[in-house]
Structure 1
Amino acid sequence: MTTTSARPTRTGARVHVQRFGTFLSGMVMPNIAAFIAWGLITAFFIATGWLPNGILGGFGNADQIGWTGAATTLAQTADGTTFPQYVGLVGPMITYLLPLLIANTGGRMVYDTRGGVIATIATMGVIVGSTIPMFIGAMIVGPISAWLLKKLDSLWAGKIRPGFEMLVDNFSSGILGALLALGAFFGIAPVVTALSSFLETVVDWLIANGLLPLASIFIEPGKILFLNNAINHGVLTPLGVQQVEENGKSLLFLLEANPGPGLGILLAFTFFGVGIAKASAPGAIIIQFLGGIHEIYFPYVLMKPMLVLAAIGGGMTGVAINVAFQTGLRAPASPGSIFAVLIQTAPDSYVGVILSVIGAALVSFLISAVILRASRKRDLANENAGDLSAAVAATEANKGKSSSVLGGLTGAGTAAGVTDAAARGATDGALADGRRFSDIVFACDAGMGSSAMGASVLRNKIKKAGIEGVTVTNKSIANLDGTADLVITHRDLTARAEGMSPNSLHVSVENFMNSPKYDEVVQLLQNQATEGADR
């Protein structure tokens, strides 16, 4: 039901990188609420927080505070004197809760509930065997443990006598979990500790030498290639959380989440763009800056690849300002909304953080304005200029893959160039073959931001059309189970969605907020309802 052409090696490699990055971020993204909860508790109750509280924050002399309703541990002063100190919430959450949640999620991604359980067991070994938060350890040990259990179960699948299945399943996973916990304690924990210390040393060196802004050279183009969640939650979040435990805040949470670069680019299109791009930019600003959905500005950059320089320039400016003011966030800002950024900002960092957003937006706006102004006359003379589908065509060529269509379903600007008549014929043929569409899924990298936005738009269109019996949901590509009738994704992500749900029909869009394909999907559903009524 889809058409696929051969992919160049470099495109296949990029899809593999995206898939690996999605897997890493997929372990963190579902648990962002826990990170936010921990960040709020940290922001309020640690010694330098808004409302310092030794019982909840885990500091101060427990005997002097005098409340005995919480567990205590022994702490030591600089002169060697020991005193009882409350454990609090901050320490146990970052040491145990967050890594175990990550491990459980990673295990479930590999082997469902059994994978989640054994991943949690094994990760306790790496947690207890280290002196630092084991986020990286959890992301390694969790999925590997689940994979090993899956392979072990396959050895005697279908060979167990009836009535002994539960006994074998429980003891096999229990024994393997105990062995993996021991192996993680003695073998993996020291290695991950050394790796984390090395990465932290590298970051500290970059900050000390004023080189951290150079990270934007890799981060900003990576975002445009849909590696933003992998970069932010797969790499920066684990390192940032470790820095928060040591310093009370981390600049790493701002490297990718700063909404300034995207805001500047969209503002430039608002004033100097042409066509659909100019008309849609103001609405995109609201979604990107206030809603935190950064993916909304990616097509604008892909329309004019030179604008990646504006993104890099804005990103470097924001990082440089944050380095100069020594700012940081208490926890990840997800999504990357200005509201989320300000809520997680450390009390002593508001001036620097706000200036970093303004500075990043200003620099990216100026660079974008120069680029757009330089090509404005040529764009005005080109009737197709400002059409976002031109950027999609370039992306498709870069992918080395033609559009996946709904039986020939195409929208404005598709590379396939199918006529309306051909699309109708393909649609009618699909329905004549008995294919019915009742389950539509929007899928994106994390399954939260852009896919939720697109699902809401299409859901409203279907409701206004009076169509019933059709569900529209959103989820991450990693959670596609192959049961959806129709899967809608951004064109950059369609190849991965096809691999996860090969029996579904796939529609590629360039803009989740306003795609002409939504109207064609609605028309398809109306035709389906009409044919159903005639039968």
Structure 2
Amino acid sequence: MAQAKSKSSVKVKVQKFGTALSGMIMPNIGAIIAWGLTAAFFMWPSGWFPNKNINNLVQPMLRYLLPLLIGYTGGRMVDDERGAVAGAIGTLGVIVGTTQPMFLGAMIMGPLSAWVLKKIDNAFQDKIKSGFEMIYNNFSLGILGMIAAIFAYFIIGPVMAVGSYWAGVGVNAIIKVHLLPLANIIIEPAKVLFLNNAIGNGILVPLGIQQAAQAGKSVLFLMESNPGPGLGILIAFWLFGKGRSKSSAPGAAIIEFLGGVHEIYFPYVLMKPSLILAAIGGGVTGTFLFTLLGGGLKAAASPGSIIAILIVSAKDAYLGNIIGVLGAAIVSFLIAAVIIKNDKSTGDDLADKQAQMQAMKAESKGQSMPEAEDAHESVQSYANVKKVIFACDAGMGSSAMGASLLRDKFKKAGIKWPVTNTAVRNLRDEPGLLVITQEELADRALQKTPHAMHVSVGNFLSSPKYDTIVASFKALTQVEEKPKPKPAEEKKLGSIEGIDFGKVKEVDFIRHDQHVGTATMATSLFNDAMKKAGKTTPVKAVRINELDDDASHLVIVTPAANKNLAVRYSNIQTLVVNDLLKDKKLAEAIQNLH
């Protein structure tokens, strides 16, 4: 049992690390594609439409823009805007310290710079006297950024230059002896365990950009994004499968091949684990054909759609890319067909098979099924839900499609709760939250949002649990007719009458709320007025993401800032004023505070 738990913990940790890597790349895929298309179309003299003037954009985008965006994103993942700026400054030191594109260096210096800044803030920010917050914030960031850039220039830059050089040499050597296809023996099973974004965007894309910068294209972009293996497996289910797996396979094949959402075929493989051999066979075949026929892309194909692959294919690589994808699909289809035709199962519903498999996996780990899994059977358990979030590894493709599907079901049923999607890493614990995620990511989602209600599904696009969720919400709206408050009892939003001062334990001003006056000055003046009135409630200037969502916080904001606040929080109390420094409501609030 202990060993099983250890393995599960290791898997979650690996997923977290991989997600952190891909999280720096995924938001910037558009910029990477912009660079790739610019190079493919206008690079002098090898582009489709070579242009010397436009060609001047290619190298600055590669050397400065992309690493800075990656470093900025990595810093923001650690410490929001301050961390993002620190990450970008630190990354610049790596860029200037070497002549090579510094994507891996950016993935180190971005989070590292932000982490150091966060530790410094945790140690000193609470000790800063009122009125000196801005000078601390600006100079702490400036001094730390300077030190990080110098450190990166002299230490990280040279080390990463050597590492990147030898990594490139190693990849080229592996390609020359045709051993690169063996990497798919690891890549394909890892994809099915929801490490696809970690491997593709966290590892292969940075290495691929570096290779493409030197050779004009890279086969590394195709190793994880090749839709061929998934297409072959889904066609095999379509022709030889049984039950729901057979009927759902054609639609899934279209989404996987044209839409590029590879996650849609993972449940089919998980349902019959021997099909991983088909995925491996297809992946190895595809990569072998790519390398043999000179295939490669100018930039990352994200999502892994055949359409995206054709758009960013190198000028001389179209034949190799098309044959590689088709070859992968044919081999995976042949292997999958043999496995499926010899399968003796009764062809039960796909979702039932996935639920059965999940229970067996949980039992093998010495665990019971999570309480969250049973919760969806109870109508009453939905009484406190105010928002539904679909969470997948990247926060795009499959979760967006699942959210769209449930949103449509809600609309038809007359249910008005919001349904959104995000990456697991961006989940935030808050009251009234229902999190729907894939079974393999359920542990991570539960760690991020322990107080939320959780429902895990095998396939975002095909789960009977959606109908249970809709029925439960519908039953609540029919059974619980909440009496409407009388006009005299309604709270006036942003007014003194609408605030329960007995619950207030802290007064907060939001930093950067500078429409009329600054939060720093407003905090200082309000604090002085509180002391003169003999009031003891603490007054603080905080960032908008630093609040706990409960009624103990009274947040004083301008109308514009209140809109941003309302998106993030539902339980805090707000006092909306037109002037942070002089509004008459401030004096009224002081009289009511303790």
Asked if these proteins are the same fold (TM beyond 0.5), I'd say yes
Please give the per-residue CA displacement for 1:325-361, whole angstroms capped at 9, x wherever unaligned: 1111010000001100110111111111000011000
- Cα distance in structure 2, aligned partners of 1:407 and 1:275: 24
Name the counterpart of 1:515.
Answer: 463
Shift of residue 521, structure 1, vs aligned partner = 1.0
Is contact 2:351-2:458 (8 Å) kept? Answer: no
Is contact 2:373-2:454 (8 Å) kept? Answer: no
Name the counterpart of 2:405.
Answer: 457
For the residue of structure 2 that corresponds to 1:50, the secondary structure is: coil
Please give the per-residue CA displacement for 1:103-134, whole angstroms capped at 9, x wherever unaligned: 11111110010000000011100000011111
For the residue of structure 2 that corresponds to 1:131, the secondary structure is: coil
Name the counterpart of 1:85.
Answer: none
- Cα distance in structure 1, aligned partners of 2:332 and 2:108: 37
Residue 172 of structure 1 pairs with residue 130 of structure 2: no
- Cα distance in structure 2, aligned partners of 1:407 and 1:327: 45
For the residue of structure 1 that corresponds to 2:388, the secondary structure is: strand
Does the C-alpha gap of structure 1 residues 276 and 395 become closer, same or farther in structure 2, counting only changes over 3 Å? farther
- Cα distance in structure 1, aligned partners of 2:240 and 2:465: 27
Is contact 1:274-1:386 (8 Å) kept? Answer: no
Unaligned runs of at least 5 residues, structure 1: 58-87, 411-422
Query: Which of 30, 33, 42 matches 2:39?
Result: 42
Unaligned runs of at least 5 residues, structure 2: 484-594
Residue 130 of structure 1 pairs with residue 98 of structure 2: yes
Query: Which of 379, 397, 400 matches 2:345?
Result: 379
The aligned runs of 1:339-488 (5 Å cut-off) are 339-375=307-343, 378-380=344-346, 387-389=352-354, 390-397=356-363, 401-404=367-370, 406=372, 408-410=374-376, 423-424=377-378, 427-428=379-380, 430=381, 435-468=383-416, 470-483=417-430, 485-488=433-436
Query: Which of 433, 454, 475 matches 1:527?
Result: 475
Name the counterpart of 1:234.
Answer: 202
Please give the per-residue CA displacement for 1:194-227, whole angstroms capped at 9, x wherever unaligned: 1111111111111111111101111001101111
Query: Which of 14, 26, 29 matches 1:17?
Result: 14
- Cα distance in structure 2, aligned partners of 1:474 and 1:529: 24
Is contact 1:276-1:387 (8 Å) kept? Answer: no
- Cα distance in structure 1, aligned partners of 2:28 and 2:428: 21
For the residue of structure 1 that corresponds to 2:257, the secondary structure is: helix
Is contact 1:436-1:528 (8 Å) kept? Answer: no
For the residue of structure 2 that corresponds to 1:116, the secondary structure is: helix
Is contact 1:129-1:185 (8 Å) kept? Answer: yes
Aligned residue identity for 2:374: G
Is contact 2:226-2:286 (8 Å) kept? Answer: yes
- Cα distance in structure 2, aligned partners of 1:291 and 1:354: 17
Larger mean CA deviation between 382-391 and 100-109 belongs to 382-391
Is contact 1:405-1:505 (8 Å) kept? Answer: no
Name the counterpart of 2:192.
Answer: 224
Does the C-alpha gap of structure 1 residues 26 and 400 become closer, same or farther in structure 2, counting only changes over 3 Å? farther
Shift of residue 394, structure 1, vs aligned partner = 4.8
Aligned residue identity for 2:477: A
Shift of residue 395, structure 1, vs aligned partner = 4.9
Residue 92 of structure 1 pairs with residue 60 of structure 2: yes
Please give the per-residue CA displacement for 1:254-275, whole angstroms capped at 9, x wherever unaligned: 0110000000001111111111
Aligned residue identity for 1:274: K
Please give the per-residue CA displacement for 1:127-162, whole angstroms capped at 9, x wherever unaligned: 000111111000001101100000011111321111
Does the C-alpha gap of structure 1 residues 136 and 407 become closer, same or farther in structure 2, counting only changes over 3 Å? closer
Q: TM-score, normalised by structure 2?
A: 0.78
Structure possessing the higher relative contact order (Cα contacts under 8 Å, 6 or more residues apart): 1
Shift of residue 33, structure 1, vs aligned partner = 0.9
Shift of residue 385, structure 1, vs aligned partner = 8.0
Name the counterpart of 1:56.
Answer: 54
Query: Which of 273, 280, 287 matches 2:248?
Result: 280
For the residue of structure 1 that corresponds to 2:429, the secondary structure is: coil
Residue 193 of structure 1 pairs with residue 161 of structure 2: yes
Report runs of 4+ in structure 1 exceeding 6 Å deviation. none
For the residue of structure 2 that corresponds to 1:452, the secondary structure is: helix
Percentage of pairs with the same residue: 53
For the residue of structure 2 that corresponds to 1:167, the secondary structure is: helix
Is contact 1:7-1:401 (8 Å) kept? Answer: no
Q: TM-score, normalised by structure 1?
A: 0.87
Is contact 1:404-1:508 (8 Å) kept? Answer: no
- Cα distance in structure 1, aligned partners of 2:36 and 2:371: 43
- Cα distance in structure 2, aligned partners of 1:14 and 1:54: 49
Does the C-alpha gap of structure 1 residues 43 and 388 become closer, same or farther in structure 2, counting only changes over 3 Å? farther
Shift of residue 527, structure 1, vs aligned partner = 2.3
- Cα distance in structure 1, aligned partners of 2:328 and 2:175: 18
